[in-house]
Structure 1
């Protein structure tokens, strides 16, 4: 898979092609692609941007030959319709080669070897979060097969990428990523993405158990939600899209996503793009780590497997976590002291919110906006000069009004949509969603207060759901940073 000369022609017709017949010209320059990624606040699919990437041939069969004999960890999950999410802590794990995975997947049975205890009709397998640096440690030439520089990030390739290989039904629980935005290249098979905007966070019932740095999970199985336990989910605005081979999905910062494989074998490559906001996000994550570890280890110091995600293998002692927090704060100050891009005092709460007397969570929920990519500005740009067309397809919501029934889902299949209409509708929805978010906490408390006080039991996890709610840790981080600058 060593990178060879990059192809400039392809006989397969595709939207956005230009020049002589059969010749592919990429619809966006690297500079334009980066501009879109850094300003767009809506998930979107890039088409005709990777036709010359050597990695487009990385199907599972080819990878099994390249990684011949290499043991890979597969996560095994049940094919069911349970209303409880299948978190990674509830899955089992198998060490196997890609060849053994393909044999099990092809035989449609238990077979022999590592997968012998898993009936293919009842289980799925997922080799997820496989970082190229670890996976191809002795084959570094393959890094050049992935060319994220085409999206405006010079030098970024497979070294900054992650590989995902799954069978039918393999999925990740619904979550948001605390850091960066996401580019996902679909290589083989199709994946269905269920996405929800950041404004819907209160409706997704966020939790940090299981704990994993940078992953905020939802308590809800979004494909089979329990609306009696989680009634606010009715207000969430689902965006659904099927990602096909050759397409690249852009997932903006803090968008919730649930991803499922809908073909027998799927292969994806992704890269998380760092953002300016990540510096403060790391402080928020360090606060979360300290609180979660302090309370959960105090509850049961010998049972970390019950709450610590299998991918989270770092030390969890209070001393280590305290050092982690201090390093995160120091790194933030070093960054802004060096870059001089942002007035450090602006990282604290804005003028009218600086008073700690009568601290109002609802007011502070909006403090995030100056530090995140400006949603209103981004929408105005879309109206003035929409980037959408046959080669950049927005992932749209189900309707203008929030759906009260789960069945109302809009699914994009990569067809172009009217960009002008998208810009105007998104602006209206943005205003409406902000109003919903401001009142969601009060409504959620009211909906959960039907149990008599004598019957309630508040667990450590219940307390943590409040203490490390993303909205709360954001406020704590801002107050902590502000306190260091006064």
Structure 2
């Protein structure tokens, strides 16, 4: 293979990205990307003293996920971050002075490259997603992640799109779970952030008493190295951790047709969460809003958002019908426009087309046929379930177990531009005191206290929201 020849054409790479329903790693696709030079020293010079926000978390193995609401935040330059991660004495008086490197991690996560380098637009061309079949998509539609060892994101799924992740410096370990494992991961919308459904489980240190069903989840674990690109398909759960002293990665979310329905579901969720949580006692210590969400929007605004989402859904359906009748009249890129929201899509909704299949056997056959056409090999490595990893000859990027998990991370992921929030108070108490138990060992009904968050976990469960969205769209169609 020549130096300038990539293992997949843009058309073939896009076909894989848009059709593959399991995670995979692309290799040898970005060797000529200038973005591979984007290590922290290079970025520090490029930013030229500009400060960015870092999220600070503890390197501990708590049973509870370290959501963003439980983290601290500092503003610092990349130069200061590098000095801190190297243990230089100058950090004793800098922005990281309160955080000992051996006990804390720092994460500049979810930084919009378009905003970070708004005065250096030429660097957008260093990132060439056109090689994956998305012409015109570059750094302007991408985000940057810079972390120290132990920096991590809590397990979550993204409601919108699918995800392409380029590893630039250091290694990150991804723990992925299929959409079918949603109930085993105990989904929650507290802390609330649009387009992110969190898991109550710290998958790096799960609590079997609180979350017994987690044992039924199937982990797909992959360690992503520099120059590799990970495809995270629609609605796959993921927990991500930095395992080297400094890591840099770049990602872009690819919008999908199914996002139109997901936006209706997200609008319903926002309306319910904001209405119910805003009705709580103002003195409540529950910091339910993720720092990435600037404020709790009013009921009127949320209804406007819901109506807009419903209108956009029907507009997209009409466009789809028109495209079937006149395929050449619709832009081939309508499915790949950049999403301006945080991320992906939502659980419980199959991509358009699958709903037309009336027999599960037919669906399985279609999936099997598609899978046979996927060119797995040295340039596209399948991320297999853990039980299959050790028998896979080609899965050199895949880890076989959890034994080298770094001791002391759990964490939050994402970060927009908001600042410090401390300790999320959630109803994570799993054991009922003995004096509140009946003689048969069950909780005493008269003394069992359900919280607002317990109620919300049922009301905005992805399965419930999916059903509500379908009923709402049927009513609107009439």
**TM-score clears 0.5:** yes
What SS does the corresponding residue of 2:86 show, helix, strand or coil?
Answer: helix
Q: Does 1:171 align with 2:171?
A: no
Among 462, 465, 471, the alignment partner of 1:473 is: 465
Q: Which stretch has the larger CA shift, 252-261 or 367-376? A: 367-376
Q: Deviations over 1:441-465 (max 9, x none)?
A: xxxxxxxx94232232111000000
Change (3 A) 1:60 1:383: closer
Give, in whole Å, the separation in 1 of the partners of 2:366 and 2:294. Answer: 38
Equivalence for 2:14 = 34
Q: Which residue of 2 aligns with 1:278?
A: 259
Report the Cα distance in structure 2 between the residues aligned to 1:174 and 1:267, rounded to whole angstroms.
19
Structure-2 change in CA distance of 1:411 and 1:125 (3 Å): farther
Aligned to 1:292: 273
For 1:370 and 1:335, the matched residues in 2 are separated by 14
Q: Which residue of 2 aligns with 1:97?
A: 77
2:180 to 183, 190, 199: 199
In the TM superposition, what is the alpha-carbon distance from 1:293 to its structure 2 partner? 0.5
Spell out, residue by residue over 1:12-63, the C-alpha distance to the aligned partner (whole angstroms, 9 max, x if none).
Answer: xxxxxx14xxx25210000000001111011000000000000010001100
CA distance in 2, matches of 1:366, 1:81: 28
What residue number does 1:74 align with? 54
Matched-pair contact (CA < 8 Å) for 2:378–2:394: no
Is contact 2:347-2:463 (8 Å) kept? no
CA 1:148–1:84 in 2, change beyond 3 Å: closer, same or farther?
A: same
Write out aligned runs for 1:44-443 (5 A). Answer: 44-107=24-87, 111-301=92-282, 306-340=287-321, 368-369=349-350, 371=352, 376=364, 379-382=367-370, 384-399=372-387, 414-415=395-396
Report deviation, 1:332: 1.2
Give the CA deviation at 1:338.
3.0
In structure 2, how many angstroms separate the alpha carbons of the residues matched to 1:114 and 1:253?
38
Report how far residue 304 of structure 1 moved. 8.8
Q: Is this contact kept in 1: 2:163–2:252, CA < 8 A? A: yes
Would the aligned equivalents of 1:74 and 1:95 in 2 still touch at CA under 8 Å?
yes
Among 440, 450, 460, the residue aligned to 1:458: 450
Closer/same/farther in 2, CA of residues 450 and 241 from structure 1, 3 Å limit? farther
Q: Deviations over 1:188-228 (max 9, x none)?
A: 00000000000000000000000000000000000000011
CA contact (8 A) 1:192 1:262 kept: yes
SS in 2 for 1:209: coil
Q: Classify the secondary structure of the residue corresponding to 1:184.
A: strand
Q: What CA distance in whole angstroms lies between the structure 2 residues aligned with 1:262 and 1:324?
A: 40
Report the CA distance between 1:301 and its aligned residue.
4.2
Corresponding position of 1:434: none
**Aligned mates of 1:367, 1:93 — CA distance in 2:** 34
Q: Which runs of 5+ in 1 are unaligned?
A: 1-17, 344-364, 401-407, 418-448
CA distance in 1 between partners of 2:95 and 2:354 (Å): 46
Tell whether the 8 Å contact from 2:348 to 2:462 is kept in structure 1 after alignment: no
Distance 1:304 1:250, change over 3 A: farther
Q: Relative to 1, partners in 2 of residues 1:412 and 1:256: Cα closer, same or farther, differing over 3 Å?
A: farther
Shift of 1:369: 3.3
Quick check: 1:197–1:254 contact (8 Å CA) kept in 2? Answer: yes
Equivalent in the alignment of 2:424? none
Question: What do you get for the CA RMSD once the two structures are aligned?
Answer: 2.5
Aligned 8 A contact 2:274 2:296 in 1: no
- Tell me, in whole angstroms, the C-alpha distance in 1 between the residues paired with 2:196 and 2:348: 21
Name the CA distance, whole Å, in 2 between partners of 1:171 and 1:33: 28
Task: Tell me how far 1:85 sits from its aligned partner.
Answer: 0.3
State the aligned residue count: 407
What do the CA deviations read for 1:340-397 (whole angstroms, capped 9, x no partner)?
A: 2699xxxxxxxxxxxxxxxxxxxxx997336376863563224543410110001000
Structure 2 segments unaligned to the other structure (5+ residues): 325-345, 356-362, 399-440
* Contact 1:68 1:99 (C-alpha < 8 Å) held by counterparts: no
State the alpha-carbon separation in 2 of the partners of residues 195 and 49 from structure 1: 22
Cα distance in 2, alignment partners of residues 211 and 187 from structure 1: 30
Q: TM-score, normalised by structure 2?
A: 0.81
Higher mean alpha-carbon deviation, 293-302 vs 233-242, is at: 293-302
Would you identify which runs of 4 or more consecutive aligned residues in structure 1 move more than 4 Å?
Answer: 301-305, 372-375, 408-414
Q: Is the alpha carbon distance of 1:377 and 1:60 closer, same or farther for their aligned partners in structure 2, counting shifts above 3 Å?
A: farther
Distance verdict in 2 for CA 1:145–1:367, change over 3 Å: closer
Contact 1:59/1:267 (8 A) holds in 2: yes
Give the distance between the partners of 2:373 and 2:319, measured in 1 at CA: 34
